[in-house]
Structure 1
Amino acid sequence: MIRLILRRLLLALPLVFAVSVLTFVLVALTPGDPAVSILGSNATKEQYAELDHRLGFDQPVWTQYWHWLTKALHGDLGTSLLSSQSVTSQLNGRIGATLSLVVGATLLTALLGIALGLMGAVRGGAVGRGTDLVAMLGFAIPNFWLGLVLADLFALRAGWLPATGYVPFGQSPSRWLESLILPVAALAAAGVTGVAKQTRDSLRDALSQGYVDALRADGVPERTIVLRHALKNAAIPVVTMLGTFFVSLLGGTILVENVFAIQGLGSLAVGSTTEHDLPVIQGVALYFCLGVVVVNLLVDLVYGWLNPKARIS
């Protein structure tokens, strides 16, 4: 298992490097001048040129990237061009909100999706058809639109939950949970239906295998066959889907964070892109890339637990 972890981490290094290069180049080539955002539109051309020179934006892109990479390897992601704050401190101050949304939506997706898929596979009939119908609706409804609907129904009209904002867990656990319910539900809707359908189909396939008939012939209870044997064998495609869903949420939080006015990495990325704040954009991309690496590693570890043969692949 340790060899598997080391191999995956080594393979992740080129990915992190490629993402950092691509992000830097694309942002650097995007029309716009950070000096205009900092000095405003009334400054002179000489003032813009002087600031660009001081910030290093008049240098070739590869030279700028090399300077950034050298500092990043020493743990310094630079300073925001607009706020003059450390990029690392800005990201660390917002990552809690984004992780709460992403992890919460993934857990809700896993619990509800697997439960619904299990019911659909075991009972079939109307439950199975209902899962298909809900899956189609879940995929068709945009999460930001669903977030607006949920906020209108449960916050503005009913007054049960807050419509906007995020409360850190350390400040108030109960208010933290309340602030997450609506955005997590909006993010998880499509994932729940997709995981439910994948679980149902994979479990049906597992229950049709010969070893299941042998277990039934030996008198093993149906509950044990489904939960202990068939579900474990059907779990690998479900785990793959959950990992993919987690990664997609890193981008999906951008819209939901703006709908619910949550100060997370997504909203920071939008604001920084608008203002052409390259160090912050580069930092957000790096954090998201590291999140993808960690999730892929966790998925591989779960593979190894479910199927020992995967540990040597």
Structure 2
Amino acid sequence: MRRLILRRLLISVPLVIGVSLLTFLLQALTPGDTARAILGINYTPEAYAQLRHQLGLDEPLLTQYWHWLTQALRGDLGVSPISGLSVASEIASRLSVTVSLILVTTLVAAALGIGLGVFSAVRGGALGRTVDVLSLAGHSLPSFWLGLALVTVFAVGLRAFPATGYVALDASPGQWALSLVLPVTALAVHGIAVIAKQTRDGMLEVLSREFVRALRAHGVSERSIVFRHALRNAAIPVVTVVGIVFVHLLSGTVLVETVFAMPGLGGLAVDSTTQHDLPMIQGVVVVFTLIVVAVNLLVDLAYSWLNPKVRVR
């Protein structure tokens, strides 16, 4: 177990560096730069050149990246040239919003998706076809469009939930839950559909095996067969899908947080990109990459717990 964790952590180091370098280069290739964003429309060539020199933008790209990397390795993500705020403190103030949104969405999608998948595999018939339709609909409906529809119906029309904003959990647990209902619903539909489909297919495959028929012949209860044996054997691909859904939600939050005006990392990434705030973009990308690394590690550990015979190499 320790070797697995150590191996994954060692692999994550070049991954984080590679992603940060690619982000740096892609951002440098986009039209405009930080100096133009700060100066606005009316500026002289002299003022533009002077500001670029002050910000170090006239240095070679790899030199700029090396300066950022050496600071980041010391735990310093720099200061935003647009707002003048520390990148680390700004990310820390918004991280809880995105983490709450992703964790709650993943839990809802996993609970409903696994429950619906197991139930449809056991019952079959019309419910199985319903899961197929739900899977197709979940893949087809964009989360941002669904978010706008939910706001129109449940926030503007019925006034049942707040349309925008976020309330911290420690400030008011009840308001925190209400502020998450619509964005979580918009994000969870796709995850529920994918997890339900995978769970149903996995359960049907396991329930058709010889050992299941042997358990039934020995008088083992159907409940025990379904939950103790079949679900555990079908769980490894389901865990993989749950991990993929979690990672997919990182990109989904960028649009959903914008729709619901939530002060999370997704909205920060959008604002920083439009303003060419490179230090802030780099910080957000590094945090997202570290989250992906942590999720992949948890998935690998779940494999070992569900089936000790599995050895991730």
Instruction: State if a TM-score over 0.5 links the two structures.
Output: yes
Question: Per-residue deviation at 1:248?
Answer: 0.8
Distance 1:54 1:259 in 2: 36
Residue by residue, what CA displacement relative to the aligned partner does 1:282-305 show, whole Å, maximum 9, x if unpaired? Answer: 011101100100000000010010
Give the whole-Å Cα distance in 1 for the aligned partners of 2:309 and 2:21: 35
Mapped partners of 2:130, 2:207: distance in 1: 20
After superposition, the Cα gap between the structure-2 partners of 1:312 and 1:291, relative to the gap in structure 1 and judged at 3 Å, is: closer
- 1: CA distance between counterparts of 2:125 and 2:136? 17
What displacement does 1:224 show? Answer: 0.2
The reply to whether residue 94 of structure 1 matches residue 94 of structure 2 is yes
Aligned to 1:223: 223
Q: Is the aligned partner of 1:111 residue 2:111?
A: yes
Q: Secondary structure at the match of 2:171?
A: coil
- Equivalent residue of 1:247, what SS? helix
Q: Give the equivalent residue in structure 2 for 1:65.
A: 65
Partner Cα separation in structure 2 for residue 310 and residue 227 of structure 1: 20
Answering whether residue 75 of structure 2 is matched by residue 75 of structure 1, we say: yes
Q: Offset of 1:158 from its aligned partner?
A: 0.8
| Distance in 2 between residues matched to 1:126 and 1:286, nearest whole Å | 45
Structure 1 stretches of 4+ with a deviation exceeding 3 A read none
Q: What is the alpha-carbon distance in structure 1 between the residues aligned to residue 178 and residue 78 of structure 2? A: 35
Q: Give 1:312 shift.
A: 5.8
Residue 24 of structure 1 pairs with residue 60 of structure 2 = no
User: 5 Å matches for 1:185-264?
Assistant: 185-264=185-264
Paired AA for residue 29 in structure 2: L
Distance in 1 between residues matched to 2:118 and 2:106, nearest whole Å = 18
Instruction: Determine if contact 2:113/2:195 at 8 Å carries over to the other structure.
Output: yes
Q: Provide structure 1 residue ranges, at least 5 long, that are not aligned to the other structure.
A: none
Q: In the aligned structure 2, how far is the partner of 1:57 from the partner of 1:254?
A: 27
Deviation of residue 274 (structure 1)?
0.5
Matched residue, 1:124: 124
**In structure 2, what is the equivalent of residue 179 of structure 1?**
179
User: What per-residue deviation string (whole Å, max 9, x for no partner) do you get for residues 26-78 of structure 1?
Assistant: 11121102111112222211111111111110000000000000000000000
Contact 2:300 2:312 in 1 (8 A): no
Secondary structure of 2:166's partner? coil
Partner of 2:289: 289
The aligned amino acid for 1:259 is: V
CA distance, structure 2, for counterparts of residue 73 and residue 125 of structure 1 = 56
Query: Structure 1 length normalisation: TM-score?
Result: 0.98
Deviations 1:104-157 (Å, cap 9, x if unpaired)? 111000000001001110000011011111111111111111111111111111
Counterpart for residue 144 of structure 1: 144
Q: Distance in 1 between matches of 2:154 and 2:29?
A: 43
**Equivalent residue number for residue 270 of structure 1:** 270
Cα distance in 2, alignment partners of residues 291 and 91 from structure 1: 13
Aligned to 1:36: 36
The answer to whether the 8 Å contact 1:167/1:179 transfers is yes
DSSP-derived class of the 2:111 partner: helix
* Letter aligned with residue 79 of structure 2: T
Write the distance in 2 (CA, Å) between the matches of 1:193 and 1:91. 31
Q: In structure 1, the residue corresponding to 2:169 is in which secondary structure? A: coil
Match for 2:229: what amino acid? H
Q: Greater shift after overlay, 10-19 or 224-233?
A: 10-19
**1:94, distance to aligned residue in structure 2 (A):** 0.7
Name the CA distance, whole Å, in 1 between partners of 2:203 and 2:250. 28
Q: What SS does the corresponding residue of 2:136 show, helix, strand or coil?
A: helix
1 CA distance for matches of 2:195 and 2:312? 27
- Distance in 1 separating the partners of 2:16 and 2:290: 7
Task: Measure, in 2, the Cα distance between the counterparts of 1:234 and 1:245.
Answer: 17
Equivalent residue letter for 1:57: L
Give the alignment's TM-score, normalised by structure 2: 0.98
Give the aligned residue type for 1:75.
Answer: G
Asked whether the equivalents of residues 4 and 311 of structure 1 are also in contact (C-alpha less than 8 Å), the reply is: no
Name the residue aligned to 1:279: 279
Whether contact under 8 Å (2:117, 2:198) holds in the other structure is: yes
Give 3-state SS (helix, strand or coil) of 2:80's partner: coil
| Structure 2: gaps (5+ residues) | none
Could you list the per-position Cα deviations for residues 77-97 of structure 1 after superposition, in whole angstroms to 9, with x for gaps in the alignment? Answer: 000011000000111111111
Once the two structures are aligned, what percentage of the paired residues are identical? Answer: 59
Can you list the C-alpha shifts for 1:242-274, whole angstroms capped at 9, x where unaligned? 101110110111111111011111111111110
d(CA) in 1 for partners of 2:50, 2:58:
9
CA distance in 2: counterparts of 1:114 and 1:239, whole angstroms: 10
